[in-house]
Amino acid sequence: SSELTQDPAVSVALGQTVRITCQGDSLRSYYASWYQQKPGQAPVLVIYGKNNRPSGIPDRFSGSSSGNTASLTITGAQAEDEADYYCNSRDSSGNPWVFGGGTKLTVL
């Protein structure tokens, strides 16, 4: 089975840049998608594929990938970006059921 590993918690000063990473063997073959979840709310897609943003997601969110690591970068973090972030990719059979454990982002 495939696993995705994320740092449990990351902090960033208001207006600074932060990178949230996701590591796993499946990321050598597949891109990740990224989800933002605020307390008491459903997850929201923020990045998918090589670096695609859904409509309505600010351009301060971007994605990248290298080797077995996918990254979500927030350039100029805002207070409203404080949330849990989850990565997702496929397992070795191509099924979409691999989530990272989530990263809690704190904006200081």
Positions touching another protein (CB under 8 A) are: 1, 29-33, 35, 37, 42-45, 48-49, 54, 84, 86, 88-90, 95-102
CB of 15 to another protein, least distance (A): 28
When the beta carbons of 11 and 29 are compared against another protein, the nearer one is 29
CB of 29 to another protein, least distance (A): 7
**Nearest C-alpha neighbor of 70 from the set 15, 17, 29, 13:** 29
CA distance 84 to 101: 10
When the beta carbons of 18 and 36 are compared against another protein, the nearer one is 36
- Contact, 102 vs 86, CB < 8 A? yes
CA distance 30 to 13: 31
When the beta carbons of 10 and 45 are compared against another protein, the nearer one is 45
- CB neighbours of 92 closer than 8 A, spacing ≥ 6? 1, 2, 25, 26
CB of 41 to another protein, least distance (A): 8
CA distance 62 to 24: 19
When the beta carbons of 17 and 52 are compared against another protein, the nearer one is 52
CB of 67 to another protein, least distance (A): 15
